[in-house]
């Protein structure tokens, strides 16, 4: 029996934060390692998605490779033959399938996409790219080309996954059995677990999420930050004037954020960390513990990142791309035959 496929990817155009690492990369790698015995794992680098909004194109190629290095440094086993790591643009079927799907997609469907409305609203119609408008169709192609059953999605991507199911069912109804329809959002959450992990907050404004788009950078710790500088950011983190440590996201968001960060850095339970520091009154001593852990984490991670063999990364990418292009091209051919671009089977 053919293994079912899990497909996942993570856009990384610039340095990622510790929030991205603990909230997205690490859970992704853990899931991959646990599931790779039972499922084929497709991990792709969405380089075509990378410039739906403006970027520095001069650094894009290096950022693509850096994305792959991050996966490896986080523990992705490059020697596992059931895990595929590939670049979206190196398999041209992604682009051609997108055009075919475009022609069976309604303008109204795309106009109703929440992410498009959110992102385009701040810049205006004239400065919004057609690529941003069309993003969900390319995402559908990414999924459907590989007959993927499971795709871990957060709330911001749920609408796009439902569109993927809609367009697949629409074309299957019109032309016959072309696409494998991925499981619905509810089934995805049941399969992967709904919990999206802890969302690390900004160190200066702990009521908002830590974001790599923060212009000041004072409340954000990047994976590429100097470990000493990162430790100083922890020591300068906003706390409160209550002078006693308790885990309370509403009344003590800064202290609670540092407790969550410490649990993630140590790889231990939040309850255990809270129990260790609950009721203590010396914020400075507590911050120093967190700062020391952060310094050590970044030192170790950056050492692993530096030691990654680029030749091994490229070999993994190229082998995966060669293998998966066969699957993608077979799905594309079915679609081309269905719409009349290629002769049907004799």
pLDDT per position as a tens digit, 28-37: 999 999 999 9
Q: Give the range among 120-129, 170-179, 217-226, 330-339 with minimum mean pLDDT.
A: 120-129
Contact 209, 174 (CB under 8 A): no
From the list 209, 218, 232, 288, the catalytic residue is 209
From the list 33, 34, 119, 201, the catalytic residue is 119
Give the residue, 89 or 16, on which the prediction is more confident: 89
For residue range 72-108, list pLDDT tens digits in order. 999 999 999 999 999 999 999 999 999 999 999 999 9
Helix (H, G, I), strand (E, B), or coil: what is residue 110?
helix
From the list 33, 212, 218, 232, the catalytic residue is 212
- What pLDDT is stored for residue 23 in this prediction? 87
For residue range 131-147, list pLDDT tens digits in order. 989 999 999 999 999 99
User: Given a cut of 90, is residue 11 above it in pLDDT?
Assistant: no
Question: By C-alpha distance, which of 199, 207, 205, 235 is closest to 217?
Answer: 205
Q: How far is CA 129 from CA 92, 111, 119, in A?
A: 21, 13, 11
Question: By C-alpha distance, which of 115, 119, 122 is closest to 139?
Answer: 115
Q: Is residue 218 annotated as a catalytic residue, yes or no?
A: no
User: Given a cut of 50, is residue 346 above it in pLDDT?
Assistant: no
User: Given a cut of 70, is residue 191 above it in pLDDT?
Assistant: yes
> What six digits make up the tokens of 151?
């795709």
For residue range 211-225, list pLDDT tens digits in order. 877 667 789 999 999
Q: Is residue 212 annotated as a catalytic residue, yes or no?
A: yes
Domains in the chain, start-ordered, CATH in brackets? 5-197+309-339 (3.40.50.620), 227-306 (1.10.240.10)
Q: Is residue 119 annotated as a catalytic residue, yes or no?
A: yes
Question: By C-alpha distance, which of 191, 222, 255 is closest to 15?
Answer: 222
């Amino acid at each position: 029996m053919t293994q079912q496929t899990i497909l996942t990817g993570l856009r990384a155009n610039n340095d990622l934060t510790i929030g991205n690492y603990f909230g997205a990369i690490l859970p992704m790698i853990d899931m991959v390692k646990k599931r790779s015995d039972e499922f084929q794992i497709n991990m792709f680098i969405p380089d075509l998605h990378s410039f739906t909004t403006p970027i520095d194109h001069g650094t894009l190629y290096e950022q693509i490779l850096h994305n792959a290095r991050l996966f490896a440094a986080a523990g992705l086993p490059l020697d596992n033959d059931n895990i595929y790591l590939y670049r979206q643009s190196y398999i041209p079927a992604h682009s051609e399938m997108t055009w075919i799907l475009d022609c069976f997609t309604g303008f109204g469907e795309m106009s109703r996409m929440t992410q498009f409305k959110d992102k385009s609203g701040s810049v205006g119609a004239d400065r919004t790219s057609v690529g941003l408008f069309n993003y969900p169709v390319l995402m559908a192609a990414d999924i459907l080309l590989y007959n993927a059953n499971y795709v871990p999605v957060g709330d911001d991507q749920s609408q796009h996954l439902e569109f993927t199911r809609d367009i697949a069912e629409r074309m299957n109804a019109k032309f016959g059995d072309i696409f494998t329809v991925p499981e619905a959002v509810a089934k995805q959450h049941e399969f992967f677990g709904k919990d999206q992990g802890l969302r690390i907050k900004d160190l200066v404004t702990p009521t908002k999420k830590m974001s790599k788009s923060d212009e000041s950078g004072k409340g954000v710790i990047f994976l590429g930050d100097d470990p000493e500088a990162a430790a100083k950011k922890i020591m300068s983190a906003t706390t409160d004037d209550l002078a006693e440590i308790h885990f309370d996201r509403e009344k003590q968001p800064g202290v609670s954020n540092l407790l969550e960060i410490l649990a993630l850095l140590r790889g231990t339970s939040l309850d255990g960390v809270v129990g260790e520091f609950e009721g203590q009154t010396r914020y400075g001593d507590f911050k120093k513990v967190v700062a020391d852990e952060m310094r050590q984490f970044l030192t170790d991670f950056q050492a692993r990142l530096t030691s990654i063999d680029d030749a091994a990364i490229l070999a993994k990418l190229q082998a995966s791309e060669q293998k998966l292009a066969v699957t993608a091209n077979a799905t594309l051919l079915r679609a081309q035959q269905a719409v009349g671009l290629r002769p049907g089977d004799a």
